[in-house]
Structure 1
């Protein structure tokens, strides 16, 4: 069904806002500042912070510690009218280091706020918001979790200068499919559903999400503006080409990472198989050795019994030829036994 609000381009051409380039273009500029303010307030209402009235955009590139270091690029870094710093990171692919990565970026932003002649008292809160296109926490089914520093036993907050938010888009979409979300009453849900509506990885658009957001946008001016700006951004050839280049790079890196993981998995399976084969070979060798030892022991016992018979025959006066023929022993061995018995 064709959209009633978005009309200029096919829905399949809408940029996936979970690609960092698209996210920055929509939320990271002065023209759309009011959209960014509403979006951030929807997230921060969870922890009871005062509503943001205004923001200014800061440089989103953090200098390297050493000459050969890669620079740390922050997707979105803003300062609020209350002088709180907010860093928004959007991650399309799981790099398996998201928590430490977020803490690192938080630390860089907090440190860089400290200027000469400042006192520690003047350091302001830095809030880290992480929007993830993958599941991170197995411990919870909630798509939005927040974290602070608390005392271990009595659970009082140590400070408000450190705050982390993690938003897991996969869990959000699952909640939507299970009819657990109400974007009419939940401002955050409607904004996050907007981010989750286009699935670039699977080349899919959730038409049912778009239809409901369009209905809500008839009463939500900021959401309507965001949807329209999103479409304009997607329709701009230069911007779309840059987005496609970034999306291709991310997906290629993701495919390369997956390929590397599969190769490691295959290598581990081969190593496991080799170890199992080695274990099986060692077990067979051990069984063969045990059988040989048992056979040798049995042969020795048999020989001992035969020699006992030979000794009995010799002690009764049987001649060497008779004893050798009867027992099957070599004549030389019978002579040796007779000598050991000191018989005439």
Structure 2
């Protein structure tokens, strides 16, 4: 295969698809719907009559019922032709809250279906897919784990005919380890191909796995969906607008990770004086909160100066419209 047929930019220019902004550009875009459907069917192992054939993208923000509620914009939320809801979340760094956050997101999505006059029997299954660039379950060697509601002793499903709760965790670091050990079936397992796509670039380490690219290049000769994904990936990785947004988002994520680590270190230092338990808790909270709001304010100001729309900033930083309008108003007063 002619190398230029699948790639026209250097490998190190490709976005890391584990950065939520880049992931949404590829999998959360209406024009790439076919790619999204193939990816979801691969993760959920749906075939035959159960295959997802159509999805509707939904813009959904969780929280905000009270003034201090955490605002959370879902990475990707779709509704299938059967009315099932599927949320896909991508997480680059570990802040040790993924399980609780997942259950919170799931409960809000499930609850949001119920409208006045609707019976509980009409509630549809709600599925969450978490793609994590870190280890979630140290005692589980598998890179793909799936959870349902079941009885502790018999392990029987609470609702075997229609599981309303289904949660997937895909751990990319474990997946890459399997790939290095040559334990993956890239020819017959479609999910492996898509996870290789996600694992090819490591934005945090500024590393690209050229050997993964070569494997995907060969697979793309026969897989038109994979080829289409590569073309779109290449397109978004060289657009000036998306490059700026991607770099800003990656910097924000890495800064948040650094603050989290700094918070732990401060907590340990305080723990030496005040007692480990109390000091770690206080230091962690202070470290996480200190500078976060100011960092967001400064980043919003910069994006506004570059004439980015409020909707684009909402998607990029996960902030609500009200928060961005408030920062915009304060900035105007200061000027």
* TM-score after normalising by structure 1: 0.75
After the TM superposition, which of the residue ranges 65-74 and 250-259 deviates more from structure 2? 65-74
**Aligned equivalent of 1:31:** 31
Matched, 1:165 2:168: yes
Whether the 8 Å contact between 1:89 and 1:129 is mirrored in structure 2 is yes
Matched, 1:251 2:254: yes
**Aligned equivalent of 1:221:** 224
Cα distance in 2 for partners of 1:272, 1:95 equals 23
Matched, 1:132 2:135: no
Matched, 1:263 2:266: yes
Cα distance in 1 for partners of 2:218, 2:266 equals 47
Cα deviation 1:222-262 (Å, max 9, x = unaligned):
00000110000101110111010000000111112112222
Cα deviation 1:235-294 (Å, max 9, x = unaligned):
111011101000000011111211222233344457789xxxxxxxxxxxxxxxxxxxxx
**Aligned equivalent of 1:43:** 43
**Aligned equivalent of 1:76:** 76
Whether the 8 Å contact between 1:5 and 1:214 is mirrored in structure 2 is no
**Aligned equivalent of 2:323:** none
Deviation of 1:77 after TM superposition, in Å, equals 0.3
**Aligned equivalent of 1:185:** 188
Cα distance in 1 for partners of 2:245, 2:205 equals 20
Whether the 8 Å contact between 2:41 and 2:47 is mirrored in structure 1 is no
Q: How does 1:267-282 map to 2 (within 5 A)?
A: 267-268=270-271
Deviation of 1:154 after TM superposition, in Å, equals 1.5
Cα distance in 2 for partners of 1:272, 1:46 equals 52
Greater Cα radius of gyration, structure 1 or 2: 1
Matched, 1:9 2:9: yes
Q: In 2 relative to 1, CA 141–46 (structure 1 residues): closer, same or farther, beyond 3 Å?
A: farther
* TM-score after normalising by structure 2: 0.77
Deviation of 1:9 after TM superposition, in Å, equals 2.0
Cα distance in 1 for partners of 2:272, 2:213 equals 44
Cα deviation 1:124-163 (Å, max 9, x = unaligned):
0000100001001012010000000111222111020000
Please report the RMSD computed on the Cα atoms of aligned residues, expressed in angstroms: 2.0
Cα distance in 1 for partners of 2:234, 2:157 equals 43
Match of 1:241, SS state, is: helix
Q: How does 1:193-208 map to 2 (within 5 A)?
A: 193-208=196-211
Match of 2:252, SS state, is: helix
Cα deviation 1:25-55 (Å, max 9, x = unaligned):
1100110000000000000017999210110
Q: How does 1:115-154 map to 2 (within 5 A)?
A: 115-154=115-154
Whether the 8 Å contact between 2:95 and 2:257 is mirrored in structure 1 is no
After the TM superposition, which of the residue ranges 102-111 and 257-266 deviates more from structure 2? 257-266
Cα distance in 1 for partners of 2:46, 2:184 equals 16
Deviation of 1:58 after TM superposition, in Å, equals 0.7
Matched, 1:235 2:238: yes
**Aligned equivalent of 1:209:** 212
Match of 1:235, SS state, is: coil
Cα distance in 1 for partners of 2:242, 2:197 equals 19
Q: In 2 relative to 1, CA 47–111 (structure 1 residues): closer, same or farther, beyond 3 Å?
A: farther
Cα deviation 1:65-119 (Å, max 9, x = unaligned):
2123231110000000111100111111111111110000000000001111110
Whether the 8 Å contact between 1:63 and 1:72 is mirrored in structure 2 is yes
Whether the 8 Å contact between 1:47 and 1:146 is mirrored in structure 2 is no
Q: In 2 relative to 1, CA 88–140 (structure 1 residues): closer, same or farther, beyond 3 Å?
A: same
Cα distance in 1 for partners of 2:154, 2:265 equals 45
